[in-house]
């Protein structure tokens, strides 16, 4: 399988080459004390343990597609997750369970499942990064999320030093969240997915995807059609990495879609009365999820809106904040994020929260 990460590496990097911008899809981030690559689970655990024994802070980094690292970098050891491999660990007539090493590039895995006739990940095509990072924020897109197919996660627990398994029910999966997000307690070593043996996708849940496929919501389509259509839709929004396209030099969505209770939602509708109905999706517990992209756009921050020092909103999607090159810095990107968050709050009274993990920086 191909290595799709920003800058692959093996072994330990000398300090002089430890600029973390090399390892992030934003191409931003200052220097690390040390960068060590783990090419299998044992190496990853050893690198994390050894840094812990030296009392150094540890940052586990894989594809670097969901982190914003400050210009001052990271004053400790960065452990790059570069393990590879997948194996079938259980199967019956209807399902197959695959165990995937954390460093396996996510989209290579999705492509392999589609080619094998294993259904359940096809709508998650084209998402950058590693398989081991998918449980961290319960990666999702186009009506699917990994919580639906993950059965368990093998982890190194940095608190008690053990390696063990956490069942999916104990992972605390929620919208773009889990027990792993904002915690450095666990290092994910491998992930188990139970997938259906089927040439067809799960029921298509996302209206835009159904339209693009020419089917009704709830219909199933051939796996390869689902994958190809998702890739096409994503590419049109700058959501598939492309070195030649600065609109993809981002972390994908910078903000999560706000989830409001009924009273806050009605307040938003009043404040947005002149703009029509805000796009929304019902959530459990009488909550309502709102489109962050719509809020940003209607607050006056359109596609291409420039930020300071070579940063800008993507020309293809209002939710992606991009590094256009030149003098861009994390400080500038964060300033743009603040401007947007504050502008949306002023206009609609809704607070946007960042989706990526912020390392040594804050908005």
Ligand X SMILES: Cc1cc2nc3c(=O)[nH]c(=O)nc-3n(C[C@H](O)[C@H](O)[C@H](O)COP(=O)(O)OP(=O)(O)OC[C@H]3O[C@@H](n4cnc5c(N)ncnc54)[C@H](O)[C@@H]3O)c2cc1C
Binding site for ligand X (CB under 6 A): 25, 59-67, 81, 102, 127-130, 132-134, 136-137, 139-141, 187-188, 239, 241, 248, 250-252, 357
Of 130 and 318, nearer to ligand X (C-beta) is 130
Q: Are 354 and 363 in contact (CB under 8 A)?
A: yes
Contacts of 173 (CB under 8 A, 6+ apart): 135, 138, 145, 147, 150
Residues 319, 323, 327, 331: is their CA dihedral positive or negative?
positive
Rounded Cα gap, residues 295 and 126, in angstroms? 25
Of 268 and 359, nearer to ligand X (C-beta) is 359
Of 61 and 299, nearer to ligand X (C-beta) is 61
Active site residues: 176, 253, 355
Rounded Cα gap, residues 254 and 292, in angstroms? 10
Give the SS3 label for residue 297: helix
Tally of residues, the chain? 363
The secondary structure element, H or E, covering residue 90 is strand 86-91
3-state helix, strand, coil in the chain (%, to 5): 30, 25, 45
Of 18 and 251, nearer to ligand X (C-beta) is 251
Q: Cβ of residue 139: shortest distance to ligand X, in angstroms?
A: 4
Phi-psi domain of 19 (left: phi exceeds 0; alpha: psi -120 through 50; beta: other):
beta
Q: Cβ of residue 153: shortest distance to ligand X, in angstroms?
A: 9
Rounded Cα gap, residues 202 and 271, in angstroms? 38
Q: Are 107 and 127 in contact (CB under 8 A)?
A: yes
C-alpha to C-alpha distances, 355 to 138, 207, 251, nearest whole angstrom: 11, 23, 9
Q: Cβ of residue 204: shortest distance to ligand X, in angstroms?
A: 16
Of 98 and 272, nearer to ligand X (C-beta) is 98
Contacts of 229 (CB under 8 A, 6+ apart): 209, 212, 213
Rounded Cα gap, residues 109 and 91, in angstroms? 18
Of 272 and 313, nearer to ligand X (C-beta) is 313
Of 123 and 215, nearer to ligand X (C-beta) is 123
Rounded Cα gap, residues 43 and 171, in angstroms? 24
Count other Cβ atoms within 10 Å, centred on residue 185. Answer: 12
Rounded Cα gap, residues 274 and 239, in angstroms? 30
């Amino acid at each position: 399988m191909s290595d799709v990460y920003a800058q692959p590496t093996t072994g330990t990097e000398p300090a002089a080459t430890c600029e973390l911008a090399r390892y992030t899809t934003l191409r931003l981030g200052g220097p690390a004390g040390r960068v060590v690559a783990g090419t299998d689970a044992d190496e990853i655990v050893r690198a994390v343990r050894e840094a812990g024994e030296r009392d150094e802070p540890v940052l586990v980094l894989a594809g670097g597609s969901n982190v914003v690292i400050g210009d001052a970098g990271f004053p400790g050891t960065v452990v790059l997750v570069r393990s590879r491999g997948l194996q079938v660990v259980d199967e019956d007539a209807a399902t197959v369970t695959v165990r995937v090493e954390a460093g396996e590039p996510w989209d290579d895995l999705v492509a392999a499942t589609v080619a094998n006739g294993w259904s359940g990940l096809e709508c998650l095509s084209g998402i950058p990064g590693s398989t081991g990072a998918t449980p961290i924020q319960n990666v999702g897109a186009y009506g699917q999320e990994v919580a639906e197919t993950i059965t368990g996660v093998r982890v190194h627990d940095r608190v008690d030093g053990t390696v063990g398994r956490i069942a999916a029910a104990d992972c605390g999966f929620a919208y773009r969240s889990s027990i792993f997000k904002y915690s450095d307690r666990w290092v994910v070593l491998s992930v188990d997915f139970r997938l259906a043996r089927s040439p067809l996708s799960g029921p298509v849940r996302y209206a835009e995807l159904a339209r693009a496929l020419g089917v009704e919501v709830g219909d199933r389509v051939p796996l390869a059609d689902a994958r190809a259509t998702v890739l096409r839709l994503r590419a049109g929004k700058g959501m598939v990495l492309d070195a030649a396209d600065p609109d993809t030099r981002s972390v994908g969505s910078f903000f999560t879609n706000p989830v409001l209770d009924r009273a806050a939602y009605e307040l938003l509708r009043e404040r947005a009365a002149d703009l029509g109905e805000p796009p929304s999706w019902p959530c459990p517990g009488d909550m309502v999820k709102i489109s962050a992209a719509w809020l940003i756009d209607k607050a006056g921050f359109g596609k291409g809106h420039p930020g300071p020092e070579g940063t800008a909103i993507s020309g293809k999607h209002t939710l992606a904040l991009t590094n256009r090159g030149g003098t861009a810095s994390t400080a500038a990107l964060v300033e743009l994020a603040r401007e947007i968050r504050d502008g949306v709050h002023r206009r609609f009274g809704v607070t946007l929260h960042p989706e990526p993990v912020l390392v040594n920086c804050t908005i």
